[in-house]
Structure 1
Amino acid sequence: MNITPLEVTHEKNLYEQVAERIHSLIQEGTLQPGDRLPSVRKLKAQLSVSVSTVMEAYRLLEDRGLISVRPQSGYYVKLAIAQPPEPTESTPPCDASLVDTLMTFQFSRSSFHTDGLVQLGAAIPAVELMPTAALNRLMGQVLRQNPEYAHSYQLPPGCAPLRHEIARLMMNSGCSISPDAITITNGTMEAFYLALKAVTQPGDTVVIESPTYFGFLETLEELHLKALELPTHPREGLSLEALESVLQSRSIAACALVSNFSNPLGSCMSDLKKKQLAELLAQYEVPLVEDDIYGDLNFEGDRPKAVKAFDRHGLVLYCSSFSKTLSAGLRVGWCVAGRYQTRLERVKWLVNHTTPPANQLAIAAFLANGGYDRHLRQLRRTYQGQMTRMIQAICDDFPPETRVTQPTGGHILWLEIPGCDAMQLYKEALRYGIGIAPGPIFSPSRTYGHCFRLNSGILWNRDVEKAIQTLGHLVKQQLAAKILDEAPPLLRQH
């Protein structure tokens, strides 16, 4: 963008005038949160000032908390996220139970099969944010170059070029993995299903976060496994103290969690806690099925490590995919199953033989040409900006007692509103063409009736903004009606 020259005044230092010009552009909305500012040299040329003047102006804006610097990238308008109170650590029941996901199935049908629905419930990214043109071009290219391979039966573990690129990619998560240790799957959910089936028998108990991703619960039900919910913090993740207590007193077949920017809380374990988790599970010889589908979507700093990075005994079965970063429809995921790889690949072969080869080759080509890193940088900024806008809108339109998670990556928010009936809100919102994910579907014990999940992965626009306003209005109406119902009869008459 071009910035018009300054009208120099002697009342303030030149760098202060430059800073005020940038500040006004931020206030007017010309520069949005997450936008990159002109480079120092570009702004120097536009305003006819010195490099040192621009640097001093940027430092002043940084001190005021208006902009931030990203190493080797430049200066950006700071994402001034509103700070609503966060949900408290969960306190689920301590009994293991079989899972019934009929309610989840009904939610999925309404979320994916209702035309015109504002998709605030399903955790799906906007297709417009994905590099579909590049992937389509590469798909045509690999089909021309590999006409027979792309239409042939393939055996697990999958396409060698893709496994090579994934092994390189996993170095960013702290994992040193051989391509031969990687099994390609149809998305993360198949990887998760195969991993759990490889380490459990019907009737076994699996430890999960609470709340947890409802897809996990569907898998547990299908495999006839019991779920044991453990307390989970919205920032720090699963309680290791509760986990250790359970491991000491019960027979646990496996643990299953989303380690980075979890679904639905958005929590991200520290490296120290991940190391302690890996060591604790190794002590009791309990495998961990780790879903790291959101790990590449960190907003700041380095990509967080996976628990797999601390696995010294082959007990962590690492699952991930490109569904949230490149393409949900291509269904390309993978699993690093450690000591369970042979068993997992046998189950994969029995279930569906292989993941479509053309899809694998197209993703491999995209990764090989360096496009993934460039795409991720933009996607992270977009997700962060959209989450910021959604949190701000919630603060503006929802009751003041609303609690909202503050994730540092991904595109999911979890809301906790005392007195709210999330299932009733879910049904009312559908009548307004709005989808939300009600809290009870994230727990086998059907807790979290006052909570729901929102998706900030869709493009922020007027329809989304209006949907948030409508949801806030519906919540306020619901709480007001509840207060009236609970009032003494005499007050209700007035």
Structure 2
Amino acid sequence: MAKYETLVDQIREQIKNNIWRVGDKLPSLRKQTETTGMSLMTVLHAYQVLESQGWIVSHARSGYFVAPKIQNSNPISKRSNATVSKAEEIDINDFVFDVLKANRTPYTVDFGSVYPDPSLYPRNQVNKSLTSAVSHMPTSSALDNLPPGNKGLRQIIAKRYAAEGMNVHPDEIVITAGALEALNLSLQAVTQAGDWVVVESPTFYGALQSLQRLNLRALSIRTHPTDGIDLDSLEDALKSHTVKACWLMTNQQNPLGCTLSNDKKARLMALLAEYNVYLIEDDVYSELYYGSQKPLPAKAFDQNGMTMHCSSFSKTLVAGFRIGWVAAGKMALPIQKLQMMSTLSASAPIQLALEKYLSARNYENHLRQLRRKLEQRKFAVWQMLCAEMPASVNINYSEGGYFLWIELPDHVDATVLYQQASKENISIAPGRMFSLNNEFDHCFRLNSSFECSLIQERAIKRLAELIQKMLEQ
């Protein structure tokens, strides 16, 4: 056995035996060489093997740590034998509305927010672009920016697709008032009241609200925190029901954070093509990856033009501008007509401002800085949660985005936790928001994008105390 393999086996066994626990920092490369007598390259090779196997994770300028997923048993996959859940009627909007309204209370530690920390946005640069766009806005701008939207902005978005190896013509792109409008218009374009639509379980609450508003029926497919949607269960649903569309997040899924592998994305698109089902792809978080390569959307594997790929600048550039788009392919014209009958168009000044910013500013440099800060903050929050939370709490960590999905023991109601925390100006997003049944009532989503100040630390400790009290009841 090679020396590095001996060290790999040794550290792996130590992690299994809880000598090194989740979040613990391993000895530095230099310290490990002193302890083992091995060369620096041998130790580095061993650490790299452990990292590739998922046992440890490296963080720039910080070192190596025991990876989250080793101790995460992901009890979601064990909770229920039901892989497909049906809902003839959907009633989620009132609860979601109440939670979102409560989260707007001043001085709240906003772990429940869907948006990243606004201080991470290049606000001054974007505002300058808006000021310049408004001052030079031509009199024809209202007409120029009607559906499908600002031509220059659509060309910029098309070039970003091209950089990923995707051939999306600017005329296929429709600019919308945020990604949610893009998703809603896409759903309207391919469904009628009473149709079956597939969503993930758990899923983004906005999808459930949209299905409720349009009187659609839902098939919820079990989704794993690491592996993503269960494609075997999806195939069963497609066989047994006449499904018109799937509303899915294949990258940095909200609330779980999982990203489908390219193999699963290819299989997903083959399944949908076989059953002639449209994919409405919600891809607002794909720019927030942590690795060296941006994950492709499922649309990149679509050979039949059945994908409406929706995204926005709300999670990466500025939330308040509410500018999104859908790369709709052959559904572009129907979506434009629907938009004309509802919001008419996205804001002309904002479209012009974004065109100006993206043309003149270094958006890629901003994205690199944003990803780095989000990764650092998420890891810091995760470490704090590991240190403060009771041992029976499961913290799912994903390599990207800014959400942590937290599972409490089955008998602990996260909605009660949400209510108790709200009284102390701490917001979380309870699992009930993301499901059509009570399967995730013991879970909650936590936003990790805010800097770990003393206020955040105290809030996490208080959440841990509230959970411990609930466990003792």
Q: Under TM normalisation by the shorter chain, which class is it?
A: 0.7 to 0.9
Match of 2:472 in 1: 480
Match of 2:74 in 1: 87
In the superposition, relative to structure 1, how do residues 142 and 377 fare at CA in structure 2: closer, same or farther (>3 Å)?
same
Q: Is the 8 A contact 2:219 2:237 kept in 1?
A: no
The letter for the 2-side match of 1:451 is: C
Match of 2:131 in 1: 140
CA distance in structure 1 between the aligned counterparts of 2:342 and 2:126, rounded to whole angstroms: 27
Match of 1:282 in 2: 273
Q: Is the 8 A contact 2:145 2:351 kept in 1?
A: no
Per-residue deviation, 1:168: 1.3
CA distance in structure 2 between the aligned counterparts of 1:85 and 1:65, rounded to whole angstroms: 20
Per-residue deviation, 1:96: 3.1
Q: Is the 8 A contact 1:231 1:239 kept in 2?
A: yes
Match of 1:301 in 2: 292
Q: Is the 8 A contact 1:172 1:303 kept in 2?
A: no
Matched, 1:96 2:87: yes
CA distance in structure 1 between the aligned counterparts of 2:159 and 2:287, rounded to whole angstroms: 14
Identity of aligned residues (%): 36
CA distance in structure 1 between the aligned counterparts of 2:350 and 2:393, rounded to whole angstroms: 43
Match of 2:12 in 1: none
1:319-334 maps to which residues of 2 (within 5 A)?
Answer: 319-334=310-325
Match of 2:16 in 1: none
Secondary structure in 2 matching 1:352: coil
CA distance in structure 2 between the aligned counterparts of 1:133 and 1:179, rounded to whole angstroms: 29
Secondary structure in 1 matching 2:189: helix
CA distance in structure 1 between the aligned counterparts of 2:451 and 2:211, rounded to whole angstroms: 33
In the superposition, relative to structure 1, how do residues 173 and 189 fare at CA in structure 2: closer, same or farther (>3 Å)?
farther
In the superposition, relative to structure 1, how do residues 346 and 308 fare at CA in structure 2: closer, same or farther (>3 Å)?
same
Match of 1:438 in 2: 430
Per-residue deviation, 1:154: 3.4
CA distance in structure 2 between the aligned counterparts of 1:81 and 1:462, rounded to whole angstroms: 25
Match of 1:379 in 2: 370
Q: Is the 8 A contact 2:197 2:218 kept in 1?
A: yes
CA distance in structure 1 between the aligned counterparts of 2:329 and 2:220, rounded to whole angstroms: 25
Q: Is the 8 A contact 1:150 1:356 kept in 2?
A: no
CA distance in structure 1 between the aligned counterparts of 2:44 and 2:462, rounded to whole angstroms: 36
Q: Is the 8 A contact 2:172 2:330 kept in 1?
A: no
Matched, 1:464 2:463: no
Aligned match for 1:365, one of 339, 344, 356: 356
CA distance in structure 2 between the aligned counterparts of 1:371 and 1:414, rounded to whole angstroms: 32
Q: CA RMSD in A?
A: 2.2
Give deviations 1:377-430, integer Å, cap 9, x for gaps. 010011111110111111111111111212111111111111321011000001
Aligned match for 1:343, one of 327, 334, 337: 334
CA distance in structure 1 between the aligned counterparts of 2:41 and 2:182, rounded to whole angstroms: 47
Per-residue deviation, 1:170: 2.0
CA distance in structure 1 between the aligned counterparts of 2:392 and 2:101, rounded to whole angstroms: 31
CA distance in structure 2 between the aligned counterparts of 1:59 and 1:463, rounded to whole angstroms: 42
Secondary structure in 2 matching 1:95: strand
Per-residue deviation, 1:466: 1.2
Match of 2:28 in 1: none
Secondary structure in 2 matching 1:169: helix
In the superposition, relative to structure 1, how do residues 423 and 159 fare at CA in structure 2: closer, same or farther (>3 Å)?
same
Match of 2:112 in 1: 121
Q: Is the 8 A contact 1:118 1:434 kept in 2?
A: yes
Give deviations 1:144-182, integer Å, cap 9, x for gaps. 222424555732000011001111112354422111110
Aligned match for 1:259, one of 250, 260, 264: 250
In the superposition, relative to structure 1, how do residues 157 and 86 fare at CA in structure 2: closer, same or farther (>3 Å)?
farther
CA distance in structure 1 between the aligned counterparts of 2:330 and 2:141, rounded to whole angstroms: 30
In the superposition, relative to structure 1, how do residues 58 and 222 fare at CA in structure 2: closer, same or farther (>3 Å)?
farther
Give deviations 1:93-126, integer Å, cap 9, x for gaps. 53233211221111111112x1111110121111
Matched, 1:204 2:195: yes
CA distance in structure 2 between the aligned counterparts of 1:398 and 1:337, rounded to whole angstroms: 44
Structure 1, unmatched stretches of 5+, are 1-32, 34-56, 69-73, 482-494
Higher mean alpha-carbon deviation, 188-197 vs 412-421, is at 412-421
Matched, 1:181 2:187: no
CA distance in structure 2 between the aligned counterparts of 1:281 and 1:187, rounded to whole angstroms: 26
CA distance in structure 1 between the aligned counterparts of 2:362 and 2:214, rounded to whole angstroms: 38
CA distance in structure 2 between the aligned counterparts of 1:96 and 1:78, rounded to whole angstroms: 47
1:47-126 maps to which residues of 2 (within 5 A)?
Answer: 76-78=61-63, 80=65, 83=68, 84-90=71-77, 91=80, 92=82, 94-101=85-92, 102-112=94-104, 114-126=105-117
Q: Is the 8 A contact 1:81 1:388 kept in 2?
A: no
CA distance in structure 1 between the aligned counterparts of 2:258 and 2:237, rounded to whole angstroms: 21
The letter for the 1-side match of 2:424 is: Y
Give deviations 1:168-219, integer Å, cap 9, x for gaps. 1123544221111100001111111001001100011111100001111111
Per-residue deviation, 1:143: 1.7
Match of 2:22 in 1: none
Aligned match for 1:452, one of 444, 447, 453: 444
The letter for the 2-side match of 1:249 is: S
Aligned match for 1:411, one of 396, 402, 418: 402
Aligned residues: 419
CA distance in structure 1 between the aligned counterparts of 2:200 and 2:381, rounded to whole angstroms: 25
Structure possessing the higher radius of gyration over alpha carbons: 1
In the superposition, relative to structure 1, how do residues 349 and 480 fare at CA in structure 2: closer, same or farther (>3 Å)?
same
Aligned match for 2:386, one of 373, 388, 395: 395
CA distance in structure 2 between the aligned counterparts of 1:315 and 1:105, rounded to whole angstroms: 32
Match of 1:159 in 2: 150
Secondary structure in 1 matching 2:147: coil
Secondary structure in 1 matching 2:444: strand
Match of 2:304 in 1: 313
Match of 1:488 in 2: none
Q: Is the 8 A contact 1:82 1:391 kept in 2?
A: no
Give deviations 1:268-305, integer Å, cap 9, x for gaps. 00011101101110111000100000000100120000
Q: Is the 8 A contact 2:179 2:325 kept in 1?
A: yes
Secondary structure in 2 matching 1:330: coil
CA distance in structure 2 between the aligned counterparts of 1:126 and 1:152, rounded to whole angstroms: 34
Secondary structure in 1 matching 2:284: coil
CA distance in structure 2 between the aligned counterparts of 1:239 and 1:313, rounded to whole angstroms: 22
CA distance in structure 2 between the aligned counterparts of 1:405 and 1:338, rounded to whole angstroms: 35
CA distance in structure 2 between the aligned counterparts of 1:78 and 1:129, rounded to whole angstroms: 25
CA distance in structure 2 between the aligned counterparts of 1:218 and 1:160, rounded to whole angstroms: 31
Q: Is the 8 A contact 1:206 1:255 kept in 2?
A: yes
In the superposition, relative to structure 1, how do residues 387 and 415 fare at CA in structure 2: closer, same or farther (>3 Å)?
same
